[in-house]
């Protein structure tokens, strides 16, 4: 073991004349003046590709914990993995957050301006801070340089370790931990790169306890490896960087995936070595899917397109649909609250840390679509029109042009069965609108093959008789009641029961019922067995267009 003075000398050899001392750094980051109940949390994505829905879910937990406690929510970009970093990934992160209305109290703009006094909010701009703390640990004898050419687990390191194990009774200490100063000087003189490793204080027999906000107290084997604090390019891995950043930035709760539980003992040892109080962790369960064989599995970037947050925008799920669905996954009480408060903004829903699910949530697109139908049913026709048009302009230009050609007509179409006490719930996402309502737009209706399916109990001859009678005698109807009275006269003339009670009493006396007559006209006009209010459809299409469609059926 080296003496105190040797450790100080080593630290200066490794980090000569560094820009900042730890004391100077800590003066720049004063303690936040907040109430104990106010949560300070962050979203700290790595720009290594698209935004994963699981990462967004973790962010949403942090966002809500700070929101309901009037705390501080900040964004920190963890761009220290140069090999995996993707061009434009930071912009994609910002665009996704902006789309879902996620705002931060502190962050760095895309132009590089720090908003807040605890920056820089991008890790690559904090390298001098990490080096200062690494230098301090070396000077205290808690860390050492490692000149191994390859990183943890590689062949040359394993070979060296195997030799050391024979001497150190199998302890997984790094072979460079007790390298003489003269040998270190020689490596440095040769210009060799070095990593900085933590000199673990454990030998594999110790246990450590830590408290998790979701899972409670956890006990595990303490870290017994000389883990890397700085890589040989001077960049820290997550473990060292987050310990420093979250302490300096005053983070009170770190929300992260439960896959980090196994790494927590190592993180605790880093906090202890730095002399920092332990951070409070909230390890949330990972979002899963039900696989083809009925098994639960982690949602995958490789196999599941819905893992990419852009999937939901591309398919036209409204912002609030996804947010409300994630709240369902996060807290099972939300669904009941929404049923009792159908018109309130989701932000009115309050919950605490203990309400966060401890069970791995299942991402179910069918359930998401059901939630979305409820969300959209509460929207005005104006909002549905505007959001559908915005989506179509990017994903279906033909439909966008149709919607834009006559906005008032399009809004009237989307308002059928909408602004009522029990609105229709048929639209789950904006890409559905075209298929659901194509028959209301002549540009779409007349370019489709119309394979019409009429009620099975009605012959083709009777279908033609009903359609011919309706087309011959139809006129502009002033009200739903007037139109339905007309429909009854058609039924009577064509041998159908205009009264459902009479039909149910003696069905064999009739060719069918008024319901069958209505179904025939509905299929002719919309090609659908089910549709919104038929009278409103007929009124919007107009007398000429309705007659044209009926005659087309007769001719066909």
Burial (Cβ within 10 Å: 0-12, 13-18, ≥19) of residue 57: buried
Q: Using CA atoms, how far apart are residues 482 and 499, in angstroms rounded to an integer?
A: 16
Q: Is 500 domain-assigned? A: yes
**Strands across the sheet with 143-146, in order?**
143-146, 195-198, 228-230
Q: Using CA atoms, how far apart are residues 247 and 470, in angstroms rounded to an integer?
A: 77
| pLDDT category of residue 301 using cuts at 50, 70 and 90 | confident
Tell me, what CATH number does 316's domain have? Answer: 1.10.1160.10
- In 3D, which of 185, 172, 169, 179 has the Cα closest to residue 148? 179
Q: Using CA atoms, how far apart are residues 123 and 131, in angstroms rounded to an integer?
A: 12
For residues 204-212, average pLDDT: 94
Q: Are residues 468 and 533 in the same domain?
A: yes
Of 165 and 386, which is predicted with more confidence? 386
Q: Using CA atoms, how far apart are residues 264 and 254, in angstroms rounded to an integer?
A: 12
SS3 58: helix
pLDDT at 86 over 70: no
Q: Are residues 527 and 473 in the same domain?
A: yes
pLDDT at 167 over 50: no
Radius of gyration of the chain (CA): 33
Q: Convert the pLDDT of each residue in 481-521 to its tens digit.
A: 999 999 999 999 999 999 999 999 999 999 999 999 999 99
Q: Are residues 473 and 513 in the same domain?
A: yes
Tell me, what CATH number does 535's domain have? Answer: 1.10.10.350
Q: Are residues 296 and 353 in the same domain?
A: yes
Q: Is 300 domain-assigned? A: yes
Q: Are residues 548 and 477 in the same domain?
A: yes
CA torsion 234-238-244-250 (nearest 10°) is 150
Q: Is 7 domain-assigned? A: no
Looking at the DSSP bridge assignments, the partners of residue 52 are 308
Q: Convert the pLDDT of each residue in 187-205 to its tens digit.
A: 999 999 999 999 999 988 9
| pLDDT category of residue 450 using cuts at 50, 70 and 90 | confident
Q: Are 341 and 348 in contact (CB under 8 A)?
A: yes
Q: Using CA atoms, how far apart are residues 51 and 309, in angstroms rounded to an integer?
A: 6
Look at residue 168 in the predicted model and tell me its pLDDT. Answer: 52
**Residue 443's CB: how many other CB atoms inside 10 A?**
12
For residues 76-101, average pLDDT: 84
* Reduced 3-state DSSP string for 280-325: EEEEECCCEEECCCCCEEECCCCCCHHHECHHHHHCCCCHHHHHHH
pTM of the model: 0.88
CA torsion 269-270-276-280 (nearest 10°) is -70
**Residue 8's CB: how many other CB atoms inside 10 A?**
16
Range of the domain at 295: 290-377
Looking at the DSSP bridge assignments, the partners of residue 296 are 290
Q: Hey, CA dihedral for 310, 311, 314, 319, is it positive or negative?
A: negative
Look at residue 348 in the predicted model and tell me its pLDDT. Answer: 93
Q: Is 451 domain-assigned? A: no
Cis, bond preceding 120 (omega within 30 deg of 0): yes
Look at residue 160 in the predicted model and tell me its pLDDT. Answer: 58
Q: Convert the pLDDT of each residue in 91-145 to its tens digit.
A: 889 999 999 999 999 999 999 999 999 999 999 999 999 999 999 999 999 999 9
pLDDT at 545 over 90: yes
Q: Are residues 351 and 363 in the same domain?
A: yes
Burial (Cβ within 10 Å: 0-12, 13-18, ≥19) of residue 355: middle
Q: What angle do CA 53, 54, 55 make, to 5 degrees?
A: 90
195-198 and 228-230 beta bridge pairing: antiparallel
Count of alpha carbons within 13 angstroms of residue 140, beta-carbon side: 15
376 φ, ψ to 5°? Answer: -70, -35
Mean pLDDT estimate for the chain: 92
Q: Is 492 domain-assigned? A: yes
Q: Are 64 and 351 in contact (CB under 8 A)?
A: yes
> To the nearest whole percent, how much of the chain has pLDDT over 90?
82
Q: Are residues 504 and 525 in the same domain?
A: yes
Q: Are residues 395 and 373 in the same domain?
A: no
Q: Are residues 370 and 393 in the same domain?
A: no
Burial (Cβ within 10 Å: 0-12, 13-18, ≥19) of residue 309: buried
Q: Are residues 395 and 412 in the same domain?
A: yes
Question: What is the per-residue DSSP string for 335-403?
Answer: HHHHHH-TTS-GGG----GGGS--SPPB--HHHHHHHHHHHHHTS-HHHHHHHHHHHHHHH-HHHHHHH
Q: Using CA atoms, how far apart are residues 452 and 447, in angstroms rounded to an integer?
A: 15
| pLDDT category of residue 166 using cuts at 50, 70 and 90 | very low
* Least confident window among 37-41, 48-52, 144-148, 454-458: 48-52
Q: Convert the pLDDT of each residue in 362-402 to its tens digit.
A: 999 999 999 999 999 999 999 999 999 999 999 999 999 99
DSSP state of 440: G
Q: Are 41 and 73 in contact (CB under 8 A)?
A: yes
pLDDT at 277 over 90: yes
Number of domains in the chain: 3
| pLDDT category of residue 290 using cuts at 50, 70 and 90 | confident
463 φ, ψ to 5°? Answer: -60, -50
Q: Is 501 domain-assigned? A: yes
Q: Which of 83-87, 350-354, 428-432 has the highest mean pLDDT?
A: 428-432
Look at residue 174 in the predicted model and tell me its pLDDT. Answer: 80
Q: Are residues 362 and 400 in the same domain?
A: no
Q: Is 489 domain-assigned? A: yes
Q: Are residues 344 and 356 in the same domain?
A: yes
Q: Is 509 domain-assigned? A: yes
């Amino acid at each position: 073991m080296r003496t105190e003075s040797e450790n100080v000398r080593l630290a200066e050899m490794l980090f000569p004349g560094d820009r900042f001392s730890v004391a100077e750094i800590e003066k720049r980051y004063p303690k936040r003046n907040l109430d104990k109940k106010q949560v300070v949390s962050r979203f700290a994505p790595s720009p290594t590709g698209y935004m994963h829905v699981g990462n967004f879910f973790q962010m949403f937990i942090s966002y809500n914990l700070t929101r309901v406690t009037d705390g501080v929510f900040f964004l920190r970009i963890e761009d220290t993995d140069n090999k995996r970093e993707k061009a434009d990934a930071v912009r994609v992160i910002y665009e996704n957050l902006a789309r879902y209305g996620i705002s931060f109290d502190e962050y760095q703009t895309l132009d590089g301006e720090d908003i807040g006094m605890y920056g820089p909010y991008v890790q690559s701009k904090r390298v001098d801070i990490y080096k200062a703390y690494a230098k301090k640990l070396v000077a205290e004898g808690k860390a050492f340089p490692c000149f191994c050419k390859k990183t943890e687990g590689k062949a040359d390191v394993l070979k060296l370790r195997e030799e050391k194990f024979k001497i150190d009774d199998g302890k997984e200490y790094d072979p460079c931990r007790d390298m003489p100063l003269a040998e270190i000087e020689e490596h440095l003189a040769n210009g060799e790169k070095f990593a900085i490793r933590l000199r673990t204080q454990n030998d594999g027999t110790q246990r450590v306890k830590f408290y998790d906000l979701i899972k409670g107290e956890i006990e595990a084997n303490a870290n017994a490896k000389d883990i890397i604090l700085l890589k040989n390019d001077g960049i820290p891995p997550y473990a060292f960087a987050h310990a420093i950043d979250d302490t300096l930035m005053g983070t009170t709760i770190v929300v992260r995936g439960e896959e980090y539980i196994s790494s927590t003992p190592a993180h605790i040892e880093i906090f202890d070595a730095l002399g920092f109080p332990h951070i409070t962790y909230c390890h949330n369960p990972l979002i899963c899917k039900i696989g083809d064989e009925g098994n639960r599995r982690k949602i995958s970037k490789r196999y599941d397109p819905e893992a990419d947050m852009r999937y939901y925008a591309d398919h036209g799920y409204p912002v609030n649909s996804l947010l409300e669905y994630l709240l369902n996954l996060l807290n099972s009480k939300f669904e009941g609250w929404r049923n009792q408060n159908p018109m309130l903004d989701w932000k009115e829903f309050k919950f605490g840390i203990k309400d966060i699910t401890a069970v791995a949530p299942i991402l179910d697109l069918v359930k998401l679509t059901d939630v979305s139908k409820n969300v959209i049913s509460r929207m005005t026709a104006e909002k549905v029109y505007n959001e559908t048009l915005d989506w179509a302009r990017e994903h279906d230009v033909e439909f966008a042009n149709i919607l834009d050609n006559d906005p008032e007509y399009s809004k009237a179409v989307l308002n059928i069965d909408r602004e009522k006490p029990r609105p229709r719930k048929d639209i789950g996402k904006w890409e559905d609108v075209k298929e659901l309502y194509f028959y209301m737009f002549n540009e779409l209706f007349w370019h489709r093959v119309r394979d019409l399916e009429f009620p099975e109990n009605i012959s083709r001859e009777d279908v033609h008789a009903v359609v011919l009678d309706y087309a011959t005698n139809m006129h502009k109807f002033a009200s739903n009641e007037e139109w339905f009275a007309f429909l009854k006269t058609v039924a009577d003339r064509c041998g159908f029961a205009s009264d459902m009670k009479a039909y149910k009493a003696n069905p064999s006396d009739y060719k069918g019922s008024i319901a069958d007559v209505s179904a025939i006209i509905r299929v002719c006009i919309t090609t659908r067995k089910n549709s919104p209010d038929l009278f409103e459809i007929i009124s919007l299409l107009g007398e000429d267009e309705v007659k044209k469609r009926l005659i087309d059926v007769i001719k066909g």
